[in-house]
Structure 1
């Protein structure tokens, strides 16, 4: 399912923080949204999972306006891993993941064998199946992050919206999560701080600065030293990754830009 962000503007407390953003996420594509803190990444993502209505423009799923759908119908198509999320569920890990099945069920429906199989499969995908009966509140931050991703996967979405999905994860689980995203190929839009993660996993990246898109394209085309200096204010070089052959961004951590 493709996603079109069509001239979307978003206001917060009377201030425009996202202005006239346009881009397309193709069916099965992994798109990265990158930019410095305060550039509007999380605000824009909120319009894709119906947490914040655009002040102008539209979000289209396969050509249909997301905000014209009923909330439950939208939830059957779009699953989100937002930054602002409750993490004090008095539930087991498996029960938290089972919440992802809610859009597909009636108000008083019990979980059936299909639901339980999807929950188990999602936990296996994120490497948390061995902790299914643990209390969610007893998990570390990284473990909670993986459980909440499993909840999104159990939702069987056509579109994934992920806001800093590698947040709290150690390097091994960051690599595993990025490999999972590449492998399952659900249409995905992810806000990422780590430019090397974006370069390794994304088919296209969209660079947001001061609420506007300033560049879009393949990572090798967009993540150039000049753009990184202009948008992020740091000195960097872009080289060939010695292990993957992809893009590797080397940052100068010694000499700041004037």
Structure 2
């Protein structure tokens, strides 16, 4: 299901954090948000999954404004994995993932066999099958991240909204997560700091800078040395990945160090 952002402005504490943003994640497409810290990526994602209300513009799921949906209806269509996770949860792994089935359950009805099957499948997908009874509070940061992703999968949404989902994951689990998202082919809007991961994973990239989208398109067209210098303030070459053929960004770390030394 397509999700589009039309002329979105979000004002927080009297300041426009986003201004006139337009972007698209087509049906079954993985669209990435990249940009420096403070460029508005998290604010945009929070607006998409209705945590924030825009001061102008709208977010459309297919052709429907997400603000016109009830919370339950929105939760059946959009699942989010935000950066802010809250504190330790005194729940088991299975209980956390089962929360993803709440939009489909009537009050006090409890879960059925279909819900239990979906929860088990979601845990298998993130590599935590057989870990259902572990305490969420006792997990490592990477394990918690995968449990929360499983909860999002358990919602069976049309759209996934993921804010830095590779945070706290080691290299192996980062690679596995990106492969899993690619295999699902579910409409996904994802923010990533790792530009090489974004280039490998995403069908389309939207580059945010100072609250505005400054470039959109396929990674190979968007991630140019000129844009990297303009938006991120780094010197880099863009070459072909020797294993996958994806764009691979080689940063000039010596230039960056020299720049800092001169400051």
TM-score (ref. length: structure 1): 0.98
Q: Which deviations, in whole Å up to 9, do the C-alpha atoms of 1:60-102 show, x marking residues without a partner? A: 0010000011111001100000001224111100000000001
Aligned CA RMSD, in angstroms, stands at: 0.9
Q: Which residue of 1 aligns with 2:226?
A: 226
Runs of 5+ unmatched residues, structure 1: none
Give the number of equivalent residue pairs: 258
Offset of residue 51 of structure 1: 0.3
Q: Which residue of 2 aligns with 1:109?
A: 109
Distance in 1, Cα, partners of 2:87 & 2:177: 20
Structural mapping, 1:130-141, within 5 Å:
130-141=130-141
Distance in 2, Cα, partners of 1:195 & 1:171: 15
Q: Which deviations, in whole Å up to 9, do the C-alpha atoms of 1:46-71 show, x marking residues without a partner? A: 01111001110000001000001111
Q: Which residue of 1 aligns with 2:178?
A: 178
TM-score (ref. length: structure 2): 0.97
Q: Which residue of 2 aligns with 1:66?
A: 66
Distance in 2, Cα, partners of 1:50 & 1:129: 31
Q: Which residue of 2 aligns with 1:152?
A: 152
Distance in 1, Cα, partners of 2:139 & 2:58: 38
Q: Which residue of 2 aligns with 1:41?
A: 41
Runs of 5+ unmatched residues, structure 2: none
Distance in 2, Cα, partners of 1:56 & 1:144: 35
Distance in 1, Cα, partners of 2:141 & 2:87: 9
Which 10-residue stretch deviates more, 30-39 or 10-19?
Answer: 10-19
Which 10-residue stretch deviates more, 215-224 or 125-134?
Answer: 125-134
